[in-house]
C-alpha cells in the first residue's frame, strides 16, 4: 500500500530538466544581433564622431606658461623664535615668549597664501584681470588681442551683460572668480628636490606668461610685507620690555632679539626675491597645451560605438523576451 502511494506521488511530480546552457550567453546569438543592427551601430557611431569633431574644433586653444622656482634662503627660526634655543630661559624671565624655536616653513606658507581667497581676490582686483578671467572667448593670434563673449562683457563700455539669477550679479563676484582662477593656476612643490612650479593656463599665451610673473612678484612682496610688519611689532614689544627691566642678562637678550628683527627688516628691504628665486622664468608658449582634439574624436567614436552596440543588444533581448 505504501509503495503504491510513493509511486503515485512520483507520477504526479512534474519533471524539470535544468540545462545550464540556458543561463549562458550564446556568443553566436550576440554576433548575429550585432550584425543585424549594424546599420544602427554605424549611423549612431558616425553621429557621435561628427559631434566629437565639431566639439573639438570649436574648443579654443589653451596655452600653459610655467616658471620653476627655488626657495630663497631663509632663517628657519624667524621672528621672536630666532634665539629660542639659546636664550629661551632668560628671555622668559622678562615675559618674552620666544616660541618653540622650530620655525615656520615659509615656502609652504607662501604656497598656501598664494592659493588663498584673500590673495587671489587682491590679485584679481589689483591687476584688473576679471574680464580676461571670466569673459574671454578666444584669442586673435595676428593682433594679439582677446575676444570677449559679447553676451557676457562689453569691452567698449566696460560693462557686464551676464544674465544670471540671484544672488549672482552681472558682474562676477570674487567668489566666482576665485573658483575659476583656482582651476587655471597651479602651484606645486616637488617633494624630492624642493623646487616649486607655478603655472597658468589661458587662451592667450601672453596673458598666461604675464600672470605667472605677476604671481611671483606679488607673493614675494606679500610675504615680505608680512615679515616686515611682524618684525616691526616685535621690535616695539621688545623695546617696551627693555624699559621695564634692569637685569643686565635679560637686557642683553632683548638687545640681541632687537638686532635679529633689524636684520629681518634689512633682509626684506634689499631682496626682491624674498621667498622664491626664479630658476627658469615663464615664457610665452608657442604650442597649445590643450585640448587634445584627436583624443576627443577617438573618445567620441568609442563612446558612440559602445552606446549603439548596447542599444542594439537591449532591443534584441527585449524583442526576444
pLDDT digits 0-9 by tens, 160-214: 999 888 888 999 999 999 999 999 999 999 888 889 999 999 999 999 999 999 9
CATH code, domain carrying 166: 3.30.1890.10
Mean pLDDT, range 71-98, rounded to an integer: 52
Containing structural domain, residue 162: 61-81+100-229+275-289
Structure confidence by residue, pLDDT tens digits, 168-181 = 899 999 999 999 99
In a domain, 158, yes or no: yes
* Of the candidate ranges 38-42, 94-98, 135-139, 265-269, the one whose mean pLDDT is the lowest: 94-98
pLDDT band at 87 (very low <50, low <70, confident <90, very high): low
Total count of domains within the chain: 2
Residues of the chain with pLDDT > 90, as a percent, come to 48
In a domain, 3, yes or no: no
Q: Per-residue pLDDT for 229 more than 60?
A: yes
* Pair 310, 281 in one domain: no
Q: If you ran DSSP here, which 8-state letter would residue 70 be given?
A: E
**CA 240/CA 242 separation, integer angstroms:** 5
How far is residue 7 CA from its own chain's centroid? 78
196 and 162 in a common domain: yes
Contact indicator for 253, 98 with CB cutoff of 8 Å:
no
**pTM, rounded to two decimals:** 0.76
pLDDT value at residue 116: 94
Can you point out the beta strands (E) in 102-242? 136-140, 145-148, 153-154, 159-160, 185-189, 196-202
On whether the CB atoms of residues 98 and 88 are closer than 8 A, the answer is: yes
Q: What is the pLDDT of residue 172?
A: 93
Mean pLDDT of the chain: 83
Block residue for cell numbers 509511486: 7
pLDDT tens for residues 246-281? Answer: 888 777 887 888 888 888 788 778 788 889 999 999
Residue 188 lies in a domain: yes
Amino acid at each position: 500500500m505504501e509503495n503504491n502511494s510513493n509511486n503515485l506521488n512520483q507520477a504526479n511530480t512534474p519533471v524539470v530538466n535544468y540545462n545550464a546552457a540556458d543561463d549562458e550567453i550564446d556568443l553566436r546569438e550576440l554576433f548575429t544581433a550585432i550584425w543585424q543592427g549594424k546599420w544602427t551601430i554605424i549611423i549612431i557611431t558616425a553621429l557621435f564622431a561628427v559631434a566629437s569633431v565639431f566639439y573639438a574644433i570649436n574648443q579654443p586653444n589653451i596655452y600653459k606658461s610655467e616658471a620653476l622656482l627655488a626657495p630663497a634662503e631663509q632663517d628657519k627660526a624667524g621672528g621672536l623664535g630666532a634665539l629660542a634655543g639659546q636664550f629661551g630661559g632668560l628671555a622668559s624671565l622678562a615675559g618674552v615668549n620666544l616660541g618653540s624655536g622650530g620655525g615656520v616653513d615659509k615656502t609652504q606658507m607662501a604656497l598656501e597664501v598664494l592659493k588663498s581667497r584673500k590673495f587671489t581676490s587682491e590679485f584679481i582686483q589689483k591687476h584688473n584681470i576679471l574680464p580676461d578671467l571670466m569673459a574671454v572667448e578666444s584669442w586673435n593670434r595676428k593682433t594679439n588681442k582677446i575676444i570677449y563673449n559679447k553676451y557676457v562683457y562689453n569691452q567698449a563700455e566696460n560693462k557686464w551683460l551676464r544674465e544670471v539669477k540671484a544672488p549672482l550679479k552681472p558682474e562676477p563676484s570674487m567668489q566666482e572668480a576665485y573658483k575659476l582662477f583656482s582651476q587655471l593656476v597651479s602651484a606645486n612643490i616637488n617633494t624630492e628636490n624642493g623646487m616649486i612650479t607655478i603655472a597658468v593656463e589661458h587662451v592667450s599665451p601672453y596673458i598666461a606668461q604675464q600672470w605667472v610673473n605677476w604671481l611671483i612678484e606679488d607673493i614675494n612682496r606679500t610675504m615680505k610685507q608680512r615679515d616686515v610688519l611682524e618684525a616691526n611689532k616685535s621690535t616695539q614689544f621688545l623695546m617696551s620690555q627693555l624699559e621695564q627691566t634692569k637685569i643686565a642678562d635679560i637686557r642683553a637678550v632683548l638687545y640681541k632679539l632687537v638686532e635679529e628683527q633689524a636684520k629681518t627688516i634689512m633682509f626684506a628691504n634689499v631682496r626682491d626675491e624674498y621667498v622664491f628665486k626664479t630658476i627658469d622664468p615663464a615664457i610665452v608658449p608657442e604650442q597649445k597645451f590643450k585640448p587634445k582634439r584627436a583624443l576627443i574624436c577617438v573618445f567620441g567614436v568609442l563612446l558612440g560605438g559602445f552606446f549603439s552596440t548596447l542599444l542594439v543588444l537591449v532591443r534584441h533581448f527585449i524583442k526576444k523576451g
